[in-house]
Structure 1
Amino acid sequence: MKAFVATMATQGSHPRDFTDCIPGELVWMLDPCPTSAANPDGRCACGRSFSGFNSDGSTTTAVVREIPGFTRDDYEVALRASFAALAWCSCRTRRSVPAAVDELMRLAAAWADGTVVSRRLDVITARRR
């Protein structure tokens, strides 16, 4: 199954790039706050970044990885465990955990393994290497 993981690839190719995630960790997409929804390139980056499952860091780049043996159930358990470990309430996302996992799976499935991507609100685009 494919998933988004944090990467350093292409970091710095855009002026507003940043990362403080652990390369290779699973990432998810935090729902954009009203400020970021109105201007994803503005002061709040939640509408243009991915959040790390382990580090709780953020990154503007992720890579699609085919993870052998990784299942939908594993994905959901990992996201729930991330929320629990980081003392996040799942109410911080408009979607339920199962819906968030379904969205991540659907979005990742659209890209080839190894594709570096960035995010702008709910749109994922490939980065040039």
Structure 2
Amino acid sequence: MKVLVATRATQGTRARDFSSCISGELVWVIDPCPVSLRNLNGPCGCGRSFTGMSSDGSTTTAVVREIADFTRTDYENALTSSLEAKGWCACCYSRTVPEFVGDLIAMAEPWPIGAVVGRRLDVLSLRAQLGPVGPEG
């Protein structure tokens, strides 16, 4: 299955880039806050970043990877475990875990393996194309 994982590839090519994730960790996207919706380049980066499932860090770049034998159930379990470890409950986010995972699968699917993408709300854009196993996740 194709997934999005944190990467530091292309970090720094844009003035508002940041990365505090672990390279290679699964990422998900939180819904943008009102501040980010008003100004994507403003003080809050939630509308232009991905969140690490392990580190809870954020990054403006993710890369598409293929994880053999990784299933939708595995993806849902990973996100559920991440949210539970952070103390989030179902009332803390706007969608169910299966809905979030469905969105993540849909985000990764059209891109080739090794595509480094950036996020602007619900739109991903290509920032670079790495080989099948690129540097740093």
TM-score, normalization by structure 2: 0.91
Give how far 1:88 is off.
Answer: 1.7
Whole-angstrom distance in 1 between the partners of 2:112 and 2:93:
27
Q: State the distance in 2 between where 1:91 and 1:61 align.
A: 28
CA distance in 2, matches of 1:34, 1:84: 25
Structure 1: runs of 5 or more not aligned: none
Deviations 1:65-120 (A, max 9, x none): 01101000000000000001111223332111100000000110010000000000
Task: Give secondary structure in 2 for the equivalent of 1:126.
Answer: strand
CA RMSD of aligned residues (A): 1.0
Q: Which residue of 2 aligns with 1:78?
A: 78
TM-score (norm 1): 0.97
Q: How many residue pairs align between the two structures?
A: 129
Alignment of 1:26-45 (within 5 A): 26-45=26-45
Specify the alignment match of 2:19 in structure 1: 19
Name the SS for the 1:128 alignment partner: strand
Stretches of structure 2 lacking an aligned partner (at least 5 in a row) = 130-137
Q: Which runs of 4+ in 1 moved over 3 A?
A: none
Measured in 2, the distance between the counterparts of 1:45 and 1:96 equals 22
